[in-house]
Structure 1
Amino acid sequence: MSQTRAGWLLPTPFGRFELDQLRPLRDLTVLHAWMNDPEVAAFWDLAGPREVLDRHIAAVLSAAHSEPYLGRLDGEAMSYWEIYQADQDPLAEHYPARHGDVGIHLLIGPGGYRGRGIGSALIRAVADWALSRTASTRVVSEPDLRNQRSIRAFTNAGFEARGVLELPDKQAVLMVYDQTLVPWCGDSEQSRRAG
């Protein structure tokens, strides 16, 4: 993993994945199109006029505990990520949060990237990257219970389902990636943290 001028370059088996800080003036047009894709809209509730998305992004950018990113695979914008301090988020009221827990929200934008295993590889790469920036060893996510594709992607990335959460806007599955429970795989960052 290395830092580029625009963001972070993360190794994946699917190509060069760059995670760039979201730049609203540059990125919201493509993000708005993704939010209006019926497969995305079913779980993100941000479809409709651009103002709906603008309000959401403004809230994410103003929250001290959250960072929005655009993911590019081989230079093509293809995913949106929110990396946040889960223990400082309202989510922490609904599960046994640990100090330093990192949270992930994501969507895969273009349909051609969905259902091919790319999401799982990116989730794992981003989870490991997020943990490398903090003393935490745990990443959490809470996909909608109806979103079986997302739940499978998190499971295939090494997350465990830890129960159903009754959140104000959805029933969700608490997915937890605990790096202390992941078998050593030769990654120097992981072995450095464990030793």
Structure 2
Amino acid sequence: MPPTDASADAGPVPVHPVHPARSGPAEDTRDCEDTLDLRLPADLLALFAGKANSAAPSHDGQTSSQDQLGPLDTLDLLDQPANWGPTDTPVGTFHLVPAHVERDLPIISRWMNDPAVAAFWQLAGPQAQTEDHLRAQLAGDGRSVPCLGSLDGTPMSYWEIYRADLDSLARHYPARPHDTGIHVLIGNAADRGRGLGSALLRATADLVLDHRPACARVVAEPDLRNTPSVAAFLGAGFRYATELDLPAKRAVLMIRDRSLRHLM
């Protein structure tokens, strides 16, 4: 099972290649297999098939070629995170940029080999392991988008924004249409434990709710043992909904509701 946020104040968040770390509500915790093979109908794929002419922004706001972006351009399952742009936060200007393997693999792989991150993401090892994880999402249908998060222009975190209602996580909680999940890791130890995690989780949840009008809830499922991660989600306005027995971990279902976003 993927990660969810590991290490003091928004560390990694366990996630699988195409189905990142799962998180979601949890009243229905039926014992199901970890693979939910939800396929998009052919007519829906055809509907989006011609929308592949936009370019993906780089860390400095420039664009790069479409072939690097892949399925993010052809489908709109997540309302194009590539176009969400930067946002101001109490800790600086934050920007989520869809990951490109050739550009971002070295830094993401280095972060995955940090013991604090590896304990929850389980992607420590050669770059090829992280590369397989990224390419599985980039070659998918757009239901999971791996991103690099930069703060004031410096890449410092890795994120996976995914459709929780189309993910295997949906087998473990009563998912609602357009539920959107978050997995995150803060790359450098010096950036953990000082409030950055909560600030950036709140900013990212707000980006989802601002740019995905059909989404009523942002969800996450950090490992129950990952106390700093759970605390970071609580500090970001998520509520502790329940605990879930997922295939690879005992998780906490964290939810940020659109209807409560200005109260929490």
Q: Tell me the TM-score normalised to structure 1 length.
A: 0.89
2:241 maps to 1:155: no
> Which among 127, 130, 154 is matched to residue 205 of structure 2?
127
Partner of 2:173: 95
Summarize the alignment of residues 22-171 of structure 1 with structure 2, pairs less than 5 Å apart: 22-64=99-141, 65-134=143-212, 135-171=214-250
Give how far 1:158 is off.
0.4
Give the CA RMSD over aligned residues. 1.5
**Helix, strand or coil for the counterpart of 2:223?**
coil
Which structure: greater strand fraction? Answer: 1
* Pairs aligned (count): 183
**Identical aligned residues as a percent:** 52
Give how far 1:184 is off.
5.8
List, as ranges, runs of 4+ consecutive aligned residues in structure 1 with deviation greater than 6 Å.
none
Letter in structure 2 aligned against 1:78: M
CA–CA separation in structure 2 for the residues paired with 1:146 and 1:22 = 28
CA–CA separation in structure 2 for the residues paired with 1:149 and 1:60 = 27
Letter in structure 2 aligned against 1:166: D
8 Å CA contact retained: 1:9, 1:18 = yes
CA–CA separation in structure 2 for the residues paired with 1:122 and 1:5 = 22
Partner of 1:179: 258
8 Å CA contact retained: 1:80, 1:108 = yes
**Helix, strand or coil for the counterpart of 2:185?**
strand
**Helix, strand or coil for the counterpart of 2:241?**
strand
Instruction: Could you tell me which runs of 5 or more consecutive residues in structure 2 were left unpaired when the two chains were aligned.
Output: 1-56, 64-81
Which structure: greater helix fraction? Answer: 1
